[in-house]
Amino acid sequence: MKKIVTAIFVIAYGVVSAQNNVKPFIKLVEPLKEKNNVKAARNFLIGSTCKSCNLTVNGTVVKVYPTGAFAYELNLKPGDTAFNLIAFSAPGLSLTKKVLYNYTLPAPPDTVKTLAIASIETFPEGNLMLQPGDKIKFRVKALTRCTVIAGKNIPLFEMPVAMPGIYQGEYVVKETDSFLVTKIAVTITDSAGKSITKETKNTISMFSPYSPTIAVTKGRLAHLLFGLGEDRLGGAKIGYLDSMILLNVVGKVDTKYKVQLSKYRTVYIDDDQVQFLPKGNFTPESLTSNFRAYGDSVNDYVGIGLSARLPYQSMQLINPSKIVVDIFGATTNTNWITQLENVKEIKNLYYEQTADDILRVTIELKHQQHWGHKIYYRGNMLMIKVKRQPENLSLNKLTIAIDAGHGGSNTGAGGPTGSSEKALTLAVSLKLQKALEQQGVKVIMTRTKEQFFDNKDRILFYRDSTPDLLISIHLNSSADPIRVSGTSTFYRYIGFRNLSHDIYKRMLELDLKEYGNTGSFNFMLNSPIEYPNALVETLFLSNPEDEMKILDEGFQQQIAEKIVLGIKDFLEGCKKEEK
């Protein structure tokens, strides 16, 4: 067999010269083990070999990129399968590596065959602290055609034929309920009258009327969450709040407090971001006093007098550009709005009472482009600082922040050759820094060397540095190293979209595959509202061809130059809107 494979090698590739007689190797980054138990048919062999080597997998020739990288797709059949990887550097010089897979089909859903409860789920998931009116949802998997009761009297109903043995139901907490911190018992009874009982995994309790319910935010990065959903970037954030903001806490799900912002609006906040005030503090609410809009030499401001530090949410609108701020618990008592002539970006300022306990403040801007705003309290006065569009939109008049993604123990994605995202983002960022500085730009860098920098520290650093723009450099990754490749950009707020889109269009000039310009992206470096920002996922490091490109310092330089051109396009667009 070895003679046959060697003959194939000679026929396919010719005789390799003596200078290529290097010792072959095979280094896999996927899989990492020789023996692998998997439940999916599609898997990949990903790694690298010597740059002058050729590679076969069970006799099939595999493409090896000039970097030595390769990626090979496997479509397994149930059972044990062996794959022999053979790397050739010259006739007679070869190395073999064996990888074994055991592919088992996922077990089909099975019904419970005896009087038993296989599982109990409660929703919301986690330990619950509830108030009257809250709902608890139950889903139980048990023996079919039985009677199932949660607690003392909460009937659960078996689902249709498609879901035999699945019982569901919900319960609305009543004033008369007096849950201690407890687990709820679920009882199943069969047709013969036999019963068994099993408790929920999570605890349920009532929010005590004797416990404090008014909390205040702490720190500089407290943020509200729309709901309990999670993805790899965490729950969807509404926005950051100033410290000492009053919140009305009405429940808890695991580590998240449920907050009543208004009569019909609830949100969540992590329990480590608040501290409770003593019992007896008032529910957050306030009448407003007069509004005032004014400017200084750098920014415009709106001041709104309140008697308490109330929670808020801001939004960016475009066409025409507006900043909209909802203040929860505020009721207008304002007879006038004073606007001084030294404002330069605020065109109009007005409010409306959208609900009894929500005051909406609208700030119309003179320019189409949003350049950022900041919300904070000065005592009990809510301040909205509006950043003006720079008078001179020349590139050399700006301060631009460059964030090299990852670093230190946060390595980021990895490539087939063992390349690291943290090293490559730094390499691109340093080239971008130099390219911008050659244009006369003042550049602020997160890091200029290999070091760890927490994302929270990055946000606070740039909040204090107040750049005009921020560009965050990253590399993407996918479980599919063959089909998924290309470049992409990301933004969170619609008013900052133009920056990411202009950079994206320039990146496509590098003949890269489109992966899209994505909005509402829940990444921490996209979350600040104080300045336009864009995340650039330059390429897919998981893809051998993309990795080959990003490892090339010349290509890194081209990326830096395209980002500079994208920023210039963004500024030119701002100039056109002025005319």
Residue tagged 């971008």 (tokens): 432
Residue 151 pLDDT > 60 = yes
Task: Quick: pLDDT tens for 271-305.
Answer: 999 999 999 899 999 999 989 999 999 999 999 99
Residue 579 pLDDT > 60 = no
Mean pLDDT, residues 515-522: 96
| The listed CATH number (3.40.50, 2.40.128, 2.30.30, 1.25.40) that belongs to domain 214-276 | 2.30.30
Q: What is the CATH number of domain 286-387?
A: 2.60.40.3500
Kindly report the CA angle at 371 between 366 and 377, in degrees rounded to 5?
95
* Neighbouring-strand partners of residue 60: 57
CA–CA distances in Å: residue 555 to residues 62, 431, 537, 538, 551: 25, 11, 15, 11, 8
Specify the DSSP element, H or E, that contains 347.
strand 346-355
Res 542: pLDDT = 98
Residue 492 pLDDT > 80 = yes
In this structure, what is the dihedral angle of CA atoms 113, 115, 118, 124, given to the nearest 10 degrees? Answer: 130
For the four alpha carbons of 477, 478, 481 and 484, in that order, the dihedral sign comes to negative
276: buried, middle or exposed (CB in 10 Å: 19+, 13-18, 0-12)? middle
Mean pLDDT, residues 19-23: 71
Give a three-class secondary structure readout of 162-217: CCCCEEEEEEECCCCCCCCCECCEEEEECCCCCEEEEECCCCEEECCCCCCCEEEE
Please state, rounded to an integer, the average pLDDT across all residues of the chain: 93
Neighbours of 228 (CB within 10 A): 15
Res 6: pLDDT = 42
Distance CA 72, CA 57 (A): 8
CATH class assigned to 2-103 = mainly beta
Closest residue by Cα to residue 371 from 472, 495, 540: 495
Res 14: pLDDT = 41
Res 17: pLDDT = 43
Closest residue by Cα to residue 246 from 264, 222, 229, 211: 222
Distance CA 100, CA 301 (A): 66
Closest residue by Cα to residue 550 from 458, 460, 421, 407: 421
Higher pLDDT, 166 or 162: 166
Closest residue by Cα to residue 148 from 201, 112, 123: 112
Q: Does 395-578 match 214-276 at the fold level?
A: no
| Predicted confidence band of residue 1 (pLDDT cuts 50, 70, 90) | very low
CA–CA distances in Å: residue 2 to residues 8, 59, 95, 118: 10, 10, 11, 53
Neighbours of 284 (CB within 10 A): 24
Residue 256 pLDDT > 50 = yes
Domain 117-206 has CATH 3.40.605.10: no
Res 578: pLDDT = 64
Residue 268 pLDDT > 60 = yes
Neighbours of 379 (CB within 10 A): 9
| Predicted confidence band of residue 91 (pLDDT cuts 50, 70, 90) | confident
Kindly report the CA angle at 330 between 328 and 332, in degrees rounded to 5?
145
Q: What is the CATH number of domain 395-578?
A: 3.40.630.40
For 137, residues 6+ apart whose C-beta sits below 8 A from its C-beta are 122, 123, 168, 169, 170
Mean pLDDT, residues 200-215: 88
Closest residue by Cα to residue 402 from 435, 451, 450, 438: 435
Mean pLDDT, residues 46-71: 97
Domain ranges, ordered by start, for the chain: 2-103, 117-206, 214-276, 286-387, 395-578
Res 175: pLDDT = 84
Query: Do residues 66 and 52 touch, judged by C-beta distance below 8 A?
Result: no
For 371, residues 6+ apart whose C-beta sits below 8 A from its C-beta are 345, 387, 388, 389, 390, 468, 531, 532
525 phi and psi, to 5 degrees? -75, -15
CA–CA distances in Å: residue 524 to residues 40, 232, 256, 414: 33, 12, 19, 21
Distance CA 313, CA 228 (A): 18
In this structure, what is the dihedral angle of CA atoms 385, 391, 393, 397, given to the nearest 10 degrees? Answer: -90
Exposed e or buried b per residue across 40-61, where buried means at least 16 C-beta atoms within 10 angstroms of its C-beta: eeebbbbbbbbebbbbbbeeee
Res 4: pLDDT = 42
Task: Quick: pLDDT tens for 380-439.
Answer: 999 999 999 999 999 999 999 999 999 999 999 999 999 999 999 999 999 999 999 999
Tokens of residue 412, six digits:
């980021």
With H, G, I as helix, E, B as strand and everything else as coil, classify residue 437.
Answer: helix
Distance CA 542, CA 331 (A): 53
Res 47: pLDDT = 98
- How would you list the strands of the sheet with 79-90, edge to edge? 35-38, 93-103, 79-90, 54-57, 60-62
